[in-house]
Amino acid sequence: MVRRSLYDTMRMLQKEGIDADARMMGNELIVSMAYPIAGGTPWTRRFPRHDMQRAADAVAAAAITFYPSCCLAKVADLLSGALAGQRFSRDKL
């Protein structure tokens, strides 16, 4: 299983113009992302400092939900379609 990198996920989102941020504050890792509609409350989550993997997964899930046209959402859709096709062809055997 490949682990998601928080750094790479944030960099990918920022390259697409999505205002995403991760900060270390004491023993906490705080990740946030701008809400796609002006005036909306930013999405923010706190994780223990050592839990970067969970933070990366949470940021990716939020990006897919809030920004369905971003590259991360397109890749997730492609992968889920491929997995569904694989399951379908296996069931036909």
Distance CA 23, CA 17 (A): 18
> What pLDDT is attached to residue 1?
47
Assess if residue 51 is contained within a domain: yes
Q: Are 29 and 22 spatial neighbours (Cβ–Cβ below 8 Å)?
A: yes
Supply the pLDDT for residue 88.
55
Predicted confidence (pLDDT) per residue in 6-29, tens digit: 999 999 999 999 999 999 999 999
Could you tell me if residue 76 is inside a domain?
A: yes
Q: Phi-psi bin for 57: left (phi > 0), alpha (psi -120 to 50), beta?
A: alpha
Q: Is residue 1 part of a domain?
A: no
Residue 26 domain-assigned? yes
Q: How many domains does the chain have?
A: 1
Q: Which residue has the tokens 């397109």?
A: 74
Report yes or no on 80 lying in a domain. Answer: yes
18 is a domain residue: yes
Domain encompassing residue 61: 6-92
